[in-house]
Amino acid sequence: EAQVTQNPRYLITVTGKKLTVTCSQNMNHEYMSWYRQDPGLGLRQIYYSMNVEVTDKGDVPEGYKVSRKEKRNFPLILESPSPNQTSLYFCASSLTWAPSYEQYFGPGTRLTVT
């Protein structure tokens, strides 16, 4: 089944403890992206990647890192999480970065930083 998977789905952590949220797609997509969803703010793009080793900042990149060493994986790294990063995170992928190609979203990761 073609899909975008995220792990973990739920995570509660403490301030300052490094964490990684994994994202993987099995559709051979070139483009991948991370978003955070907050009440009243909608979705905001954190980082995106147009291909392996090509990443760029979205609208809200502060406090996050990403890497794209393989086509299928696009992990989101929080080196020193803070409570303001408590949010619902979505990974998405599409065949290429062109807007004519649909973005497929993962199921989300709910992160709580205390």
Partner 1 sequence: AQSVTQLDSQVPVFEEAPVELRCNYSSSVSVYLFWYVQYPNQGLQLLLKYLSGSTLVKGINGFEAEFNKSQTSFHLRKPSVHISDTAEYFCAVSVTGNQFYFGTGTSLTVIP
Which residues sit at the interface with partner 1, rule CB under 8 A? Answer: 4, 31, 33, 35, 40-45, 48, 50, 56, 58-59, 90, 92, 97-100, 102-103, 105-108
Which residue stretches of the chain are H helix? none
Instruction: Give me the least distance between CB of 76 and partner 1, in Å please.
Output: 15
Instruction: Give me the least distance between CB of 80 and partner 1, in Å please.
Output: 26
Cβ distance to partner 1 smaller for residue 2 or 14: 2
The answer to whether the beta carbons of residues 49 and 56 sit under 8 Å apart is yes
- Taking the C-alpha atoms of residue 58 and residue 27, their distance in angstroms, rounded to an integer, is 23
| Cα dihedral 8→14→16→22 (10° resolution) | 0
Cβ distance to partner 1 smaller for residue 73 or 101: 101
- Taking the C-alpha atoms of residue 86 and residue 35, their distance in angstroms, rounded to an integer, is 13
Cβ distance to partner 1 smaller for residue 17 or 73: 73
Beta bridge partners of 16: none
Instruction: Give me the least distance between CB of 27 and partner 1, in Å please.
Output: 14
